[in-house]
Structure 1
Amino acid sequence: MSRVEQRLLEAWYQGGPVPWWAAALEPAYRLVAAMRRSAYRRGWKRSGHPGRPVIVIGNLTAGGAGKTPLAIWLLQALARNGRRPALVSRGYGGAEPAVPHRVAASDPPGLAGDEPLLVLRETGVPVWVCRDRLAAARAAVADGADVIVADDGLQHYRLRRDFEIVVVDAQRGFGNGRRLPAGPLRESVERLAGVDAVVCNGSGPHCPAGSLRMTLSGSEAVRLDGGARRALASFAGGPVHAVAGIGHPERFFALLEAQGLQVQRHPLPDHGEVPPGALAPADGRPVLMTSKDAMRCRGSAAAAAAWEVPVAATLQDGGAPLLARLATCLALSEA
């Protein structure tokens, strides 16, 4: 992680001073974001709807809050109920194609992006990537989808939506409450009042009132070459290297420590490349990484002996309150 990124994170979440240049740019960001949203509201910029229900999962802050695990949970719930869901994504970290591309399991992460590949692997539902999510949604509907789930599309107003879900990190919340780049916020916290559901990921003091709790859990590790599977607790005999290129790496490190592991931390930028040295450390200790990192390391000979730690989302009350709201709003049968 660069010094600039580290300074910003300290300012956003740890009470550190905001760099002068970040404070100077904050008003410009506020103005551009407000003008862009107003342009869609007034019809100056064109938006559209694919003709099937659209569920958007997003957050108010830059970086991850647990959107992808929630998207996987929701897609699986919809599929269990006999729906034909599809996921649409920009495919950040990949090629972000200008025309819709249906992701294939054989796609390299440089084409499809790590998160779309992970969703495809975990759910088997069609996944479409395109920098224009409306185009991706229309392609998915033409391909047979009867409900669209958009991962990280809250601020993509070109795609009109029927149901909005905001994910909040229970530990970090909204940081210092300031807009980018002086703070982590893409939009004002008041935006929560206009969404259909708020899901709070993890345990911590920053869950908005009325939000639905979600936890991420994992108890096993799978070697990237597919040759072995081990209980996480079996790594507790000595130190391990932990690699996390996600929005909040500390969440992954805490998960490992909760299993009794001694963790040597290797935080990376969200979607960041894993350095070769981190895959084959000189001390020969095991390397554990998130599923997103594992997607980016697919096919790497150096990563073959590293371990992926899959996690799954569990929602409060089995997610029944969220599914009930969806059923009411979208006329979807409950899973």
Structure 2
Amino acid sequence: MSKNASKTPGYWFGEQAVPLPARALSRLYGALVALRLRLYRKGWLRSQRLPAPVVVVGNVSVGGTGKTPLTIALVQRLRQAGFKPGVASRGYGRRDPKQARWVDAATAPADGGDEPVLIARQTGLRVRVDRDRNAAARELIAAGCDVIVCDDGLQHYRLQRDIEIEVIDGQRRYGNGRLLPAGPLREPPERGRDCDFRVVNGGEAGFGEWPMRLHSEGALPLRGGRPRPLSSFAGQRVHAIAGIGNPQRFFDMLRGYGIGVVPHAFGDHHVYAEADFSFGSELPVLMTEKDAVKCAAFADDWFYSVPVSAQLPEAFWVALLDRLSVLARPAAAD
């Protein structure tokens, strides 16, 4: 594993005892979370409703749960239904987070953030990054979008939302069930039960939850060329790169194709340099799409991106579109 990998405390998802200082800070954090939510519900902290439906894709726990693949699938499905969706994001990891900007396929990840750039490249839709998600949403509406999808932002209560989708890691779930820093939770687990839809990425979906699978069929050379099926790497050793919230999910997916994985886990949103790939052995390098958008400048012929697509039951999309149809009509119906 890479020395640059982010270190998750063992007690978050294991059976280790939680240190007393972490437990004390967790109680303080929980009190502040509860107070903030109460202030919004009482109207003492103001939130804003916009003239277009707002759909938030987020999570209660920290780390990657599959929000971005679901966001991509969601906006593509909305467009197929005749809507004009736009994506609002904070754009985590940008070099100038104070600068709001439009993101498109040509935007450098350092300027737009890796996830917004990936969404723009995959969908071709309007993507706006801004620390103020309210301002980002207003710009999207002014540009003609009739549905706003927020990639992350479940805890951004300043922006009122019409539909909330919680994404859960089906393997790690809520870990030890404790709030930060004693556990991985931003809010108590019951907050997720308030969401309109609960999507479980991998593992087993429970009652009232929708199963999601991330599916990949091939690897795309970063320097161009014909894609290769992942099965063509079976029986080979490869360097696997993952700078996401849960790198193990990516490594396990590759192993499922019979690939010999040499894992290299980096911190979420890691900014790559060429030196990060000095592995000492010349093997194919397979990486997530989120990582690949930041590595094109120094990629060689052995670098591959492994795109994934979010697959959910058709009943999920029917239920979501039914809920949305009550809030707004798609542009094609006008």
TM interval, shorter chain, is over 0.9
2:310 pairs with 308, 313, 328, which one?
Answer: 313
Distance in 2 (alpha carbons) for counterparts of 1:45 and 1:24: 27
248-257 or 313-322: bigger deviation: 313-322
- Look up the match of 2:208: 210
- Look up the match of 1:121: 121
- Look up the match of 1:157: 157
Unaligned runs of 5+ residues in structure 2 are: none
- Could you tell me how far 1:192 is from its partner in structure 2? 2.4
SS at match of 2:76: helix
39-48 or 141-150: bigger deviation: 39-48
Which residue identity does 2:308 align to in structure 1? V
- Look up the match of 1:184: 184
- Could you tell me how far 1:324 is from its partner in structure 2? 4.3
Which residue identity does 1:94 align to in structure 2? R
- Look up the match of 1:101: 101
Call closer, same or farther: CA 1:168–1:212 in 2, change over 3 Å: same
- Could you tell me how far 1:210 is from its partner in structure 2? 1.0
**Cα displacement string for residues 261-296 of structure 1 (whole angstroms, at most 9, x for unaligned residues):** 011111112112345344342210111000011112
- Could you tell me how far 1:43 is from its partner in structure 2? 2.4
Call closer, same or farther: CA 1:22–1:54 in 2, change over 3 Å: same
**Cα displacement string for residues 34-92 of structure 1 (whole angstroms, at most 9, x for unaligned residues):** 22222222222222122100000101100111111111011000111111100000001
SS at match of 1:213: strand
**Cα displacement string for residues 188-233 of structure 1 (whole angstroms, at most 9, x for unaligned residues):** 11112321111111124xx342111110010200111123421111
Call closer, same or farther: CA 1:7–1:84 in 2, change over 3 Å: closer
Contact in 2 for aligned 1:90/1:130 (Cα 8 Å): yes
Identity of aligned residues (%): 45
Aligned pairs for 1:1-335 (under 5 A) are 5-6=6-7, 8=9, 10-95=10-95, 97-98=97-98, 100-204=100-204, 207-274=205-272, 276-298=274-296, 300-302=297-299, 305-317=302-314, 319-327=316-324, 329-332=326-329
CA RMSD of aligned residues (A): 2.2
- Could you tell me how far 1:304 is from its partner in structure 2? 5.8
Larger RCO, structures 1/2 (Cα 8 Å, 6+ apart):
2
Contact in 1 for aligned 2:222/2:292 (Cα 8 Å): yes
Which residue identity does 2:313 align to in structure 1? Q
Give runs of ≥4 in structure 1 deviating > 6 Å: 1-4
SS at match of 2:140: helix
Call closer, same or farther: CA 1:157–1:115 in 2, change over 3 Å: same
SS at match of 2:213: strand
Contact in 2 for aligned 1:224/1:304 (Cα 8 Å): yes
Which residue identity does 2:253 align to in structure 1? L
Which residue identity does 1:326 align to in structure 2? R
SS at match of 2:225: coil
- Could you tell me how far 1:96 is from its partner in structure 2? 5.8
Distance in 2 (alpha carbons) for counterparts of 1:5 and 1:163: 32
Which residue identity does 2:151 align to in structure 1? D
Contact in 2 for aligned 1:100/1:139 (Cα 8 Å): no
Call closer, same or farther: CA 1:3–1:81 in 2, change over 3 Å: closer
Question: Aligned pair count?
Answer: 330
Contact in 2 for aligned 1:222/1:229 (Cα 8 Å): yes
Call closer, same or farther: CA 1:49–1:318 in 2, change over 3 Å: same
Call closer, same or farther: CA 1:115–1:322 in 2, change over 3 Å: farther
Which residue identity does 2:310 align to in structure 1? A
TM-score, with structure 1 as normaliser: 0.92
SS at match of 1:127: strand
